[in-house]
Amino acid sequence: MGVVAASVIAGRCERLGFALCGVCGVGESARAAEYDAWIAAGKHGSMEYLARNAEVRKRPELLLPGAKSVIVVGDLYRAREVVGRAGVASAATEEERRTYPAAPSLGEGESDARDEVRVLGRIARYAQGRDYHKVMKKRLHELCDALAAEHPGAGFRAFVDTAPVMERELALKAGLGWIGKHTLLIHPRLGSYMLLGGVMTTLEISDAVAKVEPDHCGTCTRCIDACPTQAITAYSVDARRCISYLTIERRGAIDESLQAKIGEWIFGCDVCQEVCPHNSVRPAGSDVGVAHEAYAAAREMLDAIAVLRWTEEDRRRELAGTAMTRAKLEMLKRNALIVVGNAVVDAGLKAAVRAAVEEVVGDSGASAELVALARGVLARMT
């Protein structure tokens, strides 16, 4: 049976550009009861796969026969801002992000609004650059290949969201950070804008005792208080209320009571991370790590009006190579309608966006749900 030193793994992961790396054993989850309770309460919504393969999630060794260890890695997709650091991407200001007529405001009844007005929907940071599944999988496979060459006969299974494992709990065990009340993994220095992945292996890893990071949430409840849909209770997220789930995973209609709370999010949501003190701006000279270049934002927003007019071909072309391809055209149009509806209520751009929404109502190819949603948006404009 092959044995490899944790320091060798760490060196390889660093050369592959992972911001964090740790190792842990394959033992049973310490949170199996919480996982079962989460499923029993229906908090997974329509993500049936989370209930179907619960046993494997709770017992990671079932994923790979003879597995002994797990290598867990983290890719930073956004480094914390540092006072005075040149080149730090500043998010668009609140004013810039809202709705903007590119030309002077349009009057009631004007019909040439088509190219004049944009209603911008926000994209969660993790999805603004290249698709992390591809970015991480490629490097994890390189890691597996290198280790396999040195240890013939050893087994490997790489994962990035792609296997039934509790990535955050494994990351916790491997010493990458602690699980915050919003349930995301937070590194004490780097914050939580981090994606996780790993490799399960039959190799034994020596000197692999990770220092498990203690919980630094303390009495803070910022994420719970700021969540627009009240989806968080301490250490548990009700996916059915989470904007990330609603905009990315949920296929059907979105409950009317949640639509206004979605605000301007067209894909994902970052609110619970934006308010977290562990993602805050650091003093000059702080070491906050470097985000992997693949996640540099290609775009922070999508024009919701344009999305309403997208064809499937447009969707493929516009979103190629990003994690946003997960959302089907119907879902994106649904999200766009909600963002447009919310912007109209906020900004009173009624006449300008009416034409685009009416086009959805008149589109013979649009589903009944989409048409109903569009009619609802029109009703709110009158």
Tell me which stretch binds ligand SF4 (CB under 6 A): 49-57, 82-90, 142-150, 228-236.
Answer: 228-236
Shortest distance, position 85 Cβ to ligand B12, whole Å: 22
Determine the residue type at 115. D
Q: How many residues does the structure list for the chain?
A: 382
Q: Looking at beta carbons only, is 131 or 169 nearer to ligand B12?
A: 169
Please, are residues 43 and 237 in contact by the beta-carbon 8 Å criterion? yes
Shortest distance, position 288 Cβ to ligand SF4, whole Å: 16
All residues at 6 or more sequence positions from 61 whose CB lies less than 8 Å from its CB, including other chains? 26, 27, 67
Shortest distance, position 115 Cβ to ligand B12, whole Å: 30
Which one of ligand B12, ligand SF4, none is in contact with 221 (Cβ closer than 5 to 8 A by kind)? Answer: ligand SF4
Tell me which stretch binds ligand B12 (CB under 6 A): 80-88, 243-251, 320-328, 368-376.
Answer: 243-251
Shortest distance, position 277 Cβ to ligand SF4, whole Å: 6
When asked if residue 182 is in the footprint of ligand B12 (CB under 6 A), the reply is: yes
When asked if residue 349 is in the footprint of ligand SF4 (CB under 6 A), the reply is: no
When asked if residue 80 is in the footprint of ligand SF4 (CB under 6 A), the reply is: no
Interacting positions 270-309 with ligand SF4 (CB under 6 A): 271-272, 275-278
When asked if residue 373 is in the footprint of ligand B12 (CB under 6 A), the reply is: no
**Could you say which of 147, 203, 237, 360 contacts ligand B12 (CB under 6 A)?**
237
When asked if residue 266 is in the footprint of ligand SF4 (CB under 6 A), the reply is: no
Q: Looking at beta carbons only, is 233 or 311 nearer to ligand SF4?
A: 233
Q: Give the residue from 135, 101, 76 showing the smallest Cα distance to 303.
A: 101
What's the sign of the alpha-carbon dihedral 193, 199, 200, 203?
Answer: negative
Q: Looking at beta carbons only, is 334 or 354 nearer to ligand B12?
A: 334
Shortest distance, position 196 Cβ to ligand B12, whole Å: 4
Which one of ligand SF4, ligand B12, none is in contact with 169 (Cβ closer than 5 to 8 A by kind)? Answer: ligand B12
Residue nearest to ligand SF4 (CB): 180
When asked if residue 245 is in the footprint of ligand B12 (CB under 6 A), the reply is: yes
When asked if residue 29 is in the footprint of ligand B12 (CB under 6 A), the reply is: yes
Q: Looking at beta carbons only, is 212 or 306 nearer to ligand B12?
A: 212
**Could you say which of 227, 336, 343, 373 contacts ligand SF4 (CB under 6 A)?**
227
301-303/117-123 β-pairing: antiparallel
| Angle ∠(115,116,118) on CA atoms, nearest 5 | 95
When asked if residue 249 is in the footprint of ligand B12 (CB under 6 A), the reply is: yes
When asked if residue 82 is in the footprint of ligand SF4 (CB under 6 A), the reply is: no
Catalytic positions? 161
All residues at 6 or more sequence positions from 8 whose CB lies less than 8 Å from its CB, including other chains? none
**Could you say which of 31, 222, 282, 375 contacts ligand B12 (CB under 6 A)?**
31
Secondary structure of the chain in HEC code, one letter for each residue:
CCEEEHHHHHHHHHHCCCCEEEEEECCCCCCHHHHHHHHHCCCCCCCCHHHHCHHHHHCHHHHCCCCCEEEEEEEECCCCCECCCCCCCCCCCHHHHCEEECCCCCCCCCCCCCCCEEEEEEECHHHCCCCHHHHHHHHHHHHHHHHHHHCCCCCEEEECCCCCCCHHHHHHHCCCCEECCCCCEEECCCECCEEEEEEEECCEEECCCCCCCCCCCCCCCHHHHHCCCCCEECCEECHHHCHHHHHHHCCCCCCHHHHHHHCCEEECCCHHHHCCHHHCCECCCCCCCCCCHHHCCCCCEEEHHHHHCCCHHHHHHHHCCCHHHHCCHHHHHHHHHHHHHHHHHHHCCHHHHHHHHHHHHHCCCCCHHHHHHHHHHHHHHC
Shortest distance, position 17 Cβ to ligand B12, whole Å: 16
When asked if residue 243 is in the footprint of ligand SF4 (CB under 6 A), the reply is: yes
Question: What is the binding site for ligand B12 (CB under 6 A)?
Answer: 29, 31, 34-35, 38, 47, 50, 124, 126, 160-161, 165-169, 179, 182-185, 192, 194-197, 215, 235-237, 239, 242, 244-245, 249, 268-270, 272
Contact positions vs ligand SF4 (CB under 6 A): 180-182, 217, 220-223, 227-229, 231-232, 237, 242-244, 269, 271-272, 275-278
